[in-house]
Structures are given as C-alpha cells and as structure tokens.
Chains A and B, each alone.
Chain A
C-alpha cells in the first residue's frame, strides 16, 4: 500500500470534500476536517511499526515519472531521520484542528488551509526528488501565510508578509543551487535527474560545495530560524492563531533543521565541516540570546516564541557535532521541541481563550482556580526545561554529550542555555500560576474541558514516553544516522579539524577529479 502518498494526499481529498459542504454548516466542517486528520494519523502509524530499523536505505519508496523531459520523478521514501518528523506532523495536525474549534471566521477556508498545510509538510519530509521537495517546500508557505494573515492578531498582515518574503528570499537561492546540482550531476554521470540519492554520490570540489552549501544553508537557517535570521519568528508566532503557532513551532521550524541533516551534510560534507565554527557560534548565540530575550518578555506567546530560537540553537549545535549522539540528540530534540513548544502554545491559547490576554502580569495564582490545567502546564514547562524523566532531557543530554566529544568550549557555553531556560520558564510559571490572585477576572476561570483534555493528554503521554523509554525512538534512527555519518566522514576532508570518532577509518582523501560548475557546456539538451 502506498502509505506515503496516501497520507500526503488524503488531506487534499478532504479539502475537496469540505469544498462541497455549505459554509454555514460550521460544525460539520470542523468534524470532517478533524476526522480526515485523524484518519491520516492512523494511516501513518504503520510507518513506525513496519519500519526496518536495521536498514539505512529509504523505505516505503514510491517512484513515478512526473516530468520525464527534465528527469523529474515523483520519488518519495523515508528513513530514520524523516520517520518521526512525519509522525510528528500527523500527530500535531489533528490536535491543532481540535484547538481551532472556537474559530468562526470563514471556518471553511481555515480548515482547507490547515489540510493543505498538512499535505505540504508531509511532502517536504518524504521527497527524495529535489524538484518535488522544492514544490512542497513552497506550497506549504501559502496556507501558513493565509493562516497568519487572515486569522491572526492585530499586526497579522505585517507578520504574514514578513514570513512569506523571508522564507521565499531564502529558498530561491536554494532553487538555484538545486539547478546547479542538476547540471553538476549531468556532467558527472550524463544523466538528467533530480534524484537526491544520486546526488549523494557526486564528488564536488570544495569551492563549489562552499557556495552550494551557503545557498541551501540560507534557506534552512531562515526556516530554523538561526540567529540572526530569526526576526520573522516572533512576529509570526505572536500574530498567528493558536493552531498556526503550534504548527509553525511544531513542524515548520523542523524543516530547517531537517534540511541541514538531509541535504547540507551529506551533499556538501567538506563544506559542512568547514562551516562548523560558523554554524556552531550562530547556534550558541541563538541559544543564549533567545533565552535572555525570553526572560524579559511580558507576553506569554512572545516568551515561548523566543524560547524556540534558543531550543533550535541546541538542535543545530547537536547536528553540527557530527557524531551519533549529537545528531540523534538533534533529531530527538526536534520532536521534543515540537511536542513541548506545541503544547506551550496550546496552553497559552487556552489561557487566551479564557481571559483574552496573554500578558503575564494579568495572571497570577491560577493554580487554585484551575488545578488540572496547572498540572498539565507544569509538566509541559518541565519538559521544555529538560527535567530528567521527561522528553526534553533526553534530547538535550544527547546533544551535550555529542558536543562535549567534539568541542568542549561550545558545550560549556550551550549548557548555560539550559540554566537560563530553567530561569525564564520557571519564573514565568511562578508569575502566572502561583502567588495570590491579583485580578478579579481570574477567580471565575473554568478548568479544562473535555476538548482540552483531548488536546493535551496525548502530548503529555508522548512527553513521558520519550522521557522514560527513548530507545523506542532512538533505535529506529541508529542505522540512518550511522549511514549519514559515514557519508559525511567518507567524503570529508581529513584536514578538517573535527574528530568524527565513530568511524575514523572512513576518513580518506578521495582522488577522483573534481568538477567545476561555471563552465560552458558542450552538450546540447
């Protein structure tokens, strides 16, 4: 059964179905889209159970010719890196739809945007053809742009346009780099293809790698977002509706980090090594800067938004440690961040629905009024800080182990981010939840309703699962990450000053001739 295509395009089928519903039947539209996304989630589960954790090759592969004259295929498949990101997407989407129940303005269009977004997101993670990848990568911009711009807060237009243009500006250079790879590959093999796995075998000279890496990295760094490309993020998060923020933080940002793992590292290993200091310092600055800025925020949503900059800095640092702990930690932390920060945005959204404010100063002493809510909030907060036993710890610990192995200085600096995280999260929690109730309105708050239980409970269960038994996740990644390290190590230059400890014997200089890109081609096409 073509599971991957099914989960990618089922939301589109849902869209067609919703289009035929009268827009006045709001409840029916909501239920239909929720059902569609739940069905997608259940269809995606066999991906986990049938995934062969010993194989690094792509699994569940589907390949169909799409634009043969350009060598473009509909070519999809997953490995241990993308598996969990897809599951995260299919897991978060129904919860986001459930969290959008209160939306009444153009609900039909809203749900259509959500479902198209799901298609785009899954498409990004499964594409093994670079053209296809780019199409999904851009496709997903449109619904997100509409979600922020139509259903967002007061400065939504500014935020939406900024989001769109930032991302677009980054990705057009990636498009050119993709085209360059296309011709490089043709010159090396005589075959026109956008097949990523073919590109992995290319041998590219360092100078060309350098530029192509930059083009790809710009697109991904904006998406992550890494300091200093993060300025669109607080605007987008603050203005987006709750579900928009959840998906933005939960999945969209992961496309940047995923892009580094899937494209930058294996395609341009030497350049990646050369860029370790740059990327690592950007990540470290992001970690500390994000944490410090979070600390002074008065708006809950902004606080969570800036904490994302900090958390994603950890992910990047882990990936660029270039060892198994670092990368697996990075991938785990992508999932963790999706769950915890997603949950935090949901919680902020729930508070906002009750009080129509997000200012920390407007709350205080809520524990007495809404104890169950407070419990959930506490668990998620602790998970975000990285308390042992919860998911955040696993990711951060692995990342730090990985980074310590390669560069102690980076690791020591990054550790300060964890302390700062505890400061801003706990302080925020204290101000919102503890002390006396200072505002009259807060005395009449209602505790969680069934819908909110249904939203938060699955996330909290996942938080515990990953925290207590991470091996059920890590074991699925091992083969793929090992293979990735082999790819990076194999082609990388020995002169690079990074110790790739797992596979030292793989580090060999290759003798194959290098190709240069900017030369006149003789072969007419």
Chain B
C-alpha cells in the first residue's frame, strides 16, 4: 500500500537520521566525560551499534510509504530505505571490524565512531535527496567525515598524505558537482528532480547544450565518488593509506551513496533524455571495468588490489546505469548489497591477518594461510570467488542481474565487454586462493588476536555472500519493489 502524502515538514521522515546524529553526539560526549575513568573504550562501539540498530528499526517502520517532505526536497520511499539498510549494514560491519583494529593501531578515539555515524547521515541524505541541493549537502557531510577518517592515523605520513589527496581532489569534484547543479538550475529553473523532469518533458526531451553540460559536470562529480575511470586516480593511494577499516568502509559506503544519487538523478530528472547521457556512461563503464581489472592484476599489495577491484565493480554497476531499465536499477541495488558483504568480508580478513602498523598486507604474505588458518582462508576464498562472479556466490547473481539488464536494453556489446572483464578479474581473485592454498608459507603466522566482533563481521559477511547467492529471491523482490517511485 503506497500512500503519497505531501507535507511541508515531517519530522518523522528524518527520524533515522536524527537518531544517528543523536548517537553521534552521545559518543562524542561520553568519550570526553568518561575517558579518564575507563581506559578501554569498548562501550563506544556498542553505543554506535545500538544507534545503528535503532535507526534500522525506524527505517523498517517506514517501509511502504512514499513520503516527500520538506517542500518535496526529501524523499522517504522504498528506494531510499533500501539504501538506508545498505548504509547501516556497511557502517555496522565497519564498526565490527574497527573495534579491535583501532585499538591495535592506537587510534582508539571517540571521534572515530562519531564520524562514521555522521558520514552515514550524509549517505542517507544523498539517497533520500529529492532535489539536487539536498544530494549535494549529503555528499558533503559524507565526504568531510571520511576525509578526516582517512587521515585518522595522525602519526603516519602515508595516512596524512592519503587524507590530503582525497580532500583536495574531492573538493575539486564537489566543485564540479556544484557547478553542474547550478547550470542545471540555470537552464531548467528548478533544483527539484521532478520539476527538472517536468521541464525537460515540457521541452519534448530537449538537447539543450547547457543542460548537457550540467549533466556532464554532475557525472564528473558523482563519478569521482563512485571511483569511475577517469576520475579514479585517487583511489589506490587513498585506499592504501587510510586505516584498513576505513578503506573497507570507503569502498562500500560512498560508492553505494554515489550510485544512489546517480540513479535517482538520472532516472528521475534526466530519465527522458537517457539517449543523451547513456553514451557517456557507456564509455565510462567500459573504461572503468577494463582499467580497474587490468591494473589490479599487477598489484602486490592486497589493499591496492582491492582498490582496483572496487574500481572494476563500479564499472559493472555503471553497465546497469547504461541499461537504464527497471531491471538495471533493481540489479544495482542487489549488486551493491552483495558487494557490501563480500568486500567488507574481504577487508575483515585482511585486518585479522595484518599486524600493527599495517604489516603483512602484501599478497605474498598470505602464502600457506590455507593450512595455518583454514577457516579464515575458506572465508577469504568465498569472498574472492564471489567478487569474481562464480556461482553459487552473491557476486554471480549480481553480475547475472546486471548483464541481463544490459542485454534487455539491447546492449549486447557492453555485456560482452562485461563478461570478458569478469574473466580477467578471475585471474587476480584466483591468485589469492593460489597463494593461500598452493604456496608454502613464507613467514610465521603469529597467533592472531581475534576479537569476537570481527568474527561476527566475517560470519555475517559469509552468510550474506552465500544467502544472496543461493537464495537471492527475497532480496531481489525487495529490490524490485524499491525502485517503483523513481520514475
């Protein structure tokens, strides 16, 4: 039952965001008030997790509504709720994998959790933004929190460098985005997505060069956030330099949020001119997949390899955007959900195996892992096979979904390039399993300090990866119901 209510101001619609903001503040205050009494800051992680669960419950309670509040600038529909769950899931998993990591790296400050929650708020704003400005504000809230988190290892030069690079390039990208928004506003006289769509429809699907320029600039801004080629240059360095838990978060959350905004803007506002932007996205998709996959082969550092792999995955997701049909959009939702599980899972294994100061993150350090820590190796194998798109893992169903969408719209060539890329990617994902199982250990595996939280994260990721691969039906149906309000 979908009931469309229009109200100018509806506080209930932003309840999950308020909850997260509130818990973020609580974390900050508790940290200051109690830091002298307890050296151990475990409870901050639990407080943040509680906030995420409560936000998820509030989000759940809104499922089925289609509410456009705050002068129709803020949408609570199944689409934004689906993304809310993706964001909350990735933040939750990030907190689980961070807990022991930030203690080990001696960066256990309360701000860490607060910033994670704040950046989640930004992502939710982006997914819910029904006008361009809201999306922009969401993007900024998300980005600024992550800039700080990237440089959270204050004493490490590489972390500072990553943060600065990300910030400078990110500032440029948001500049492009804002410029694009202002041009679109100048041409159409509206920042609300539906009004823009109305304006374009009124012109009979115009190809106003100024509007095209605006679209192009928006593509650059968002393309930067989802790490698509040629706006990807920051990714490897930033992923490598950031604290590993934040790398995991960054490879999932902002990418998901970027695609949430991408889809909403291009399907709702520019949906009727899809033949204009499809060509651009087509080229971006091909470049992103191919460069991501080919360069990933040459990597020796696992964080950099996963960085390039995340670029490649952005490429697959762009295929769905090119397809621009319902199957593509719901496929994107499904794929991102699958990607959250397999990618955070892989990073969790990386965290467990690395030592203080990010030692042992070369791929060769994994030699012989299959015999020393069989369970961890099995988990890693599942994540790698899933990313390579081998059934019965989640990644396969996601790729199948997206390639089907491309074929459906007649983009057979794009689907062919997509599958060729999958085969290329098999090579480097498989190499991890080769090294884990088929090479002799080159180092002593120190006894691992595994906290129950990170085990929980890995278990959740494994279950998610298998569940979405073997019984994907439920999530698929939800994804298909979530996209109905986009057009």
Q: Are A and B subunits of one complex?
A: yes
Residues of A within 8 A of B (CB): 66-70, 106, 109, 131, 134-135, 138-139, 141-142, 145-146, 149-150, 156-157, 160-161, 164-165, 168-169, 172-173, 175-176, 179-180, 182-183, 517-521, 524-525
Could you tell me the distance in whole angstroms from the C-beta of B204 to the nearest C-beta in chain A? 19
Q: What 8 additional pairs, Cβ within 8 angstroms, besides A518-B412, A524-B326?
A: A135-B392, A142-B390, A146-B437, A161-B434, A168-B423, A172-B420, A176-B416, A183-B408
Q: How far is the CA of A418 from the CA of B106 in the complex (A)?
A: 73
- A164 to B430, Cβ gap below 8 A? yes
- A142 to B409, Cβ gap below 8 A? no
Contact residues, B349-400 vs A (CB, 8 A): 370-371, 374, 385, 390-392, 396, 400
- Which residues of chain B have C-beta atoms less than 8 A from A67's C-beta? 472-473, 476
Assess whether B415 is interfacial by the CB under 8 Å rule.
Answer: yes
- Which residues of chain B have C-beta atoms less than 8 A from A165's C-beta? 423, 426-427, 430
| Contact A173/B404 with A70-B476, A142-B385 known, Cβ cut-off 8 Å | no
Q: How far is the CA of A134 from the CA of B396 in the complex (A)?
A: 11
Assess whether B452 is interfacial by the CB under 8 Å rule.
Answer: no
**Contact code string B144-155 (vs A, CB < 8 Å = 1, else 0):** 000000000000
- B407 to A183, Cβ gap below 8 A? yes
29 A–B pairs (Cβ distance < 8 Å), ordered by A: A66-B473, A69-B480, A138-B390, A139-B392, A141-B390, A146-B433, A149-B433, A149-B438, A150-B437, A157-B438, A160-B434, A160-B438, A164-B426, A164-B430, A168-B426, A172-B423, A173-B419, A175-B403, A176-B403, A176-B419, A179-B400, A179-B415, A180-B407, A180-B412, A517-B412, A520-B409, A520-B410, A521-B410, A525-B327
Q: How far is the CA of A519 from the CA of B408 in the complex (A)?
A: 9
| Contact A157/B327 with A142-B390, A165-B423, A172-B423 known, Cβ cut-off 8 Å | no
**Contact code string B316-346 (vs A, CB < 8 Å = 1, else 0):** 0000000001110000000000000000000
- B391 to A106, Cβ gap below 8 A? no
- Which residues of chain B have C-beta atoms less than 8 A from A518's C-beta? 410, 412
Assess whether B477 is interfacial by the CB under 8 Å rule.
Answer: yes
A106 nearest in chain B by CB position: B371
CB < 8 Å neighbour of B404 from A138, A182, A520: A182
Interface secondary structure of B, over-half rule: helix
How many inter-chain contacts with C-beta < 8 Å in the A-B complex?
A: 99
- B325 to A169, Cβ gap below 8 A? no
- B423 to A156, Cβ gap below 8 A? no
Assess whether B422 is interfacial by the CB under 8 Å rule.
Answer: yes
Q: How far is the CA of A8 from the CA of B420 in the complex (A)?
A: 31
- Which residues of chain A have C-beta atoms less than 8 A from B477's C-beta? 69
- A156 to B438, Cβ gap below 8 A? yes
Residues of B within 8 A of A (CB): 325-327, 370-371, 374, 385, 390-392, 396, 400, 403-404, 407-410, 412, 415-416, 419-420, 422-423, 426-427, 430-431, 433-434, 437-439, 472-473, 476-477, 480
- B473 to A69, Cβ gap below 8 A? yes
- A176 to B412, Cβ gap below 8 A? yes
| Contact A161/B392 with A68-B473, A173-B419 known, Cβ cut-off 8 Å | no
Could you tell me the distance in whole angstroms from the C-beta of B364 to the nearest C-beta in chain A? 14
- Which residues of chain A have C-beta atoms less than 8 A from B431's C-beta? 161
Q: Which of B385, B404, B415 has the largest number of chain A CB atoms within 10 A?
A: B404
- B407 to A179, Cβ gap below 8 A? yes
| Contact A179/B426 with A134-B391, A142-B385 known, Cβ cut-off 8 Å | no
CB < 8 Å neighbour of A179 from B371, B374, B404, B472: B404
- A175 to B400, Cβ gap below 8 A? yes
Could you tell me the distance in whole angstroms from the C-beta of A77 to the nearest C-beta in chain B? 21
Q: How far is the CA of A179 from the CA of B371 in the complex (A)?
A: 39
- Which residues of chain B have C-beta atoms less than 8 A from A157's C-beta? 434, 438-439
A152 nearest in chain B by CB position: B438
A174 nearest in chain B by CB position: B419
Could you tell me the distance in whole angstroms from the C-beta of B447 to the nearest C-beta in chain A? 20
- Which residues of chain A have C-beta atoms less than 8 A from B371's C-beta? 106
Could you tell me the distance in whole angstroms from the C-beta of A9 to the nearest C-beta in chain B? 12
- Which residues of chain B have C-beta atoms less than 8 A from A131's C-beta? 400
- A521 to B404, Cβ gap below 8 A? no
Closest 9 CB pairs of A and B: A172-B419, A135-B391, A67-B473, A179-B407, A149-B438, A169-B423, A138-B391, A179-B404, A69-B476
Q: How far is the CA of A142 from the CA of B388 in the complex (A)?
A: 12
Could you tell me the distance in whole angstroms from the C-beta of A73 to the nearest C-beta in chain B? 11
B391 nearest in chain A by CB position: A135
- B396 to A519, Cβ gap below 8 A? no
Could you tell me the distance in whole angstroms from the C-beta of B385 to the nearest C-beta in chain A? 7
Could you tell me the distance in whole angstroms from the C-beta of B57 to the nearest C-beta in chain A? 27
Could you tell me the distance in whole angstroms from the C-beta of B251 to the nearest C-beta in chain A? 24
Could you tell me the distance in whole angstroms from the C-beta of B266 to the nearest C-beta in chain A? 17
- A519 to B410, Cβ gap below 8 A? yes
Q: How far is the CA of A165 from the CA of B477 in the complex (A)?
A: 33
CB < 8 Å neighbour of B434 from A109, A149, A176: A149
A108 nearest in chain B by CB position: B374
- A139 to B391, Cβ gap below 8 A? yes
Could you tell me the distance in whole angstroms from the C-beta of A56 to the nearest C-beta in chain B? 30
- Which residues of chain A have C-beta atoms less than 8 A from B415's C-beta? 176, 179
Q: How far is the CA of A524 from the CA of B409 in the complex (A)?
A: 10
Could you tell me the distance in whole angstroms from the C-beta of A202 to the nearest C-beta in chain B? 16
Could you tell me the distance in whole angstroms from the C-beta of A217 to the nearest C-beta in chain B? 16
| Contact A172/B473 with A160-B434, A161-B427 known, Cβ cut-off 8 Å | no
- A179 to B403, Cβ gap below 8 A? yes
- Which residues of chain A have C-beta atoms less than 8 A from B434's C-beta? 149, 157, 160-161
- B407 to A176, Cβ gap below 8 A? yes
- A150 to B438, Cβ gap below 8 A? yes
- Which residues of chain A have C-beta atoms less than 8 A from B325's C-beta? 521, 524-525
Could you tell me the distance in whole angstroms from the C-beta of B132 to the nearest C-beta in chain A? 26
Q: How far is the CA of A525 from the CA of B408 in the complex (A)?
A: 10
- A138 to B396, Cβ gap below 8 A? yes
Q: How far is the CA of A182 from the CA of B404 in the complex (A)?
A: 9
- Which residues of chain A have C-beta atoms less than 8 A from B430's C-beta? 145, 161, 164-165
Q: How far is the CA of A68 from the CA of B476 in the complex (A)?
A: 10
Could you tell me the distance in whole angstroms from the C-beta of A240 to the nearest C-beta in chain B? 13
Could you tell me the distance in whole angstroms from the C-beta of B396 to the nearest C-beta in chain A? 7
Q: How far is the CA of A139 from the CA of B390 in the complex (A)?
A: 7
Q: How far is the CA of A524 from the CA of B330 in the complex (A)?
A: 12
Q: How far is the CA of A518 from the CA of B371 in the complex (A)?
A: 50
Q: How far is the CA of A164 from the CA of B384 in the complex (A)?
A: 14
Q: How far is the CA of A66 from the CA of B476 in the complex (A)?
A: 12
Q: How far is the CA of A169 from the CA of B326 in the complex (A)?
A: 29
- Which residues of chain B have C-beta atoms less than 8 A from A180's C-beta? 407, 412
- Which residues of chain B have C-beta atoms less than 8 A from A183's C-beta? 407-408
Could you tell me the distance in whole angstroms from the C-beta of A268 to the nearest C-beta in chain B? 17
- B422 to A172, Cβ gap below 8 A? yes
- Which residues of chain A have C-beta atoms less than 8 A from B427's C-beta? 161, 165
